Amino acid sequence: MRAVVQRVTRASVTVDGEVVGRLDRPGLVALVGVTPGDGPAQVELVARKIADLRILRDEQSVLDAGAPVLVVSQFTLYADTRKGRRPTWNAAAPGPVAEPLVDAVVAALRGRGIEVATGVFGADMAVELVNDGPVTILLESVPEPA
């Protein structure tokens, strides 16, 4: 599982002209990609890191600051660009595998008392954000052995 985490002052996700997720105050945007070998251990690691990373102002975590998180599924985090000009996403998990795991990350964050907004899995989303700093962190977890 991969997550690109950005510290933001505000963010939103729009689908078909309707805002479906929004942060109106400082927090984090987490773009989350899943690979077929991912499971509960990767969900827990990524959720814990998102909650505990001390990357907000004054070296606070989301938990310390009571800050919100916007989680957006992003299979393109597993793009393979080594050959040619057209990326492949063979390493990305298919929707039926990925969607429950992205939902599990959201549930794990909410289980920690964090306010979480989301995009819509599989939708054509317009993500708008103001990166604060800028601060952008790549989190990677190792998939479970097959």
Handedness of CA 109, 92, 118, 139 (dihedral sign): positive
Strand partners, 50: none
Cβ–Cβ under 8 Å, residues 27 and 70: yes
Separation of alpha carbons 38 and 98, rounded Å: 9
Instruction: State the pLDDT at residue 144.
Output: 58
Instruction: State the pLDDT at residue 138.
Output: 96
Q: Which domains does the chain have, with CATH numbers?
A: 2-140 (3.50.80.10)
Catalytic residues: 74-76
Q: Counting beta carbons within 10 angstroms of the beta carbon of residue 35, is it exposed (0 to 12), middle (13 to 18) or buried (19 or more)?
A: buried
Reading the chain (146 residues) residue by residue, the pLDDT tens digits are 999 999 999 999 999 999 999 999 999 999 999 999 999 999 999 999 999 999 999 999 999 999 999 999 999 999 999 999 999 999 999 999 999 999 999 999 999 999 999 999 999 999 999 999 999 999 998 765 65
Q: Is 71 left (phi over 0), alpha (psi -120 to 50) or beta?
A: beta
Instruction: State the pLDDT at residue 145.
Output: 60
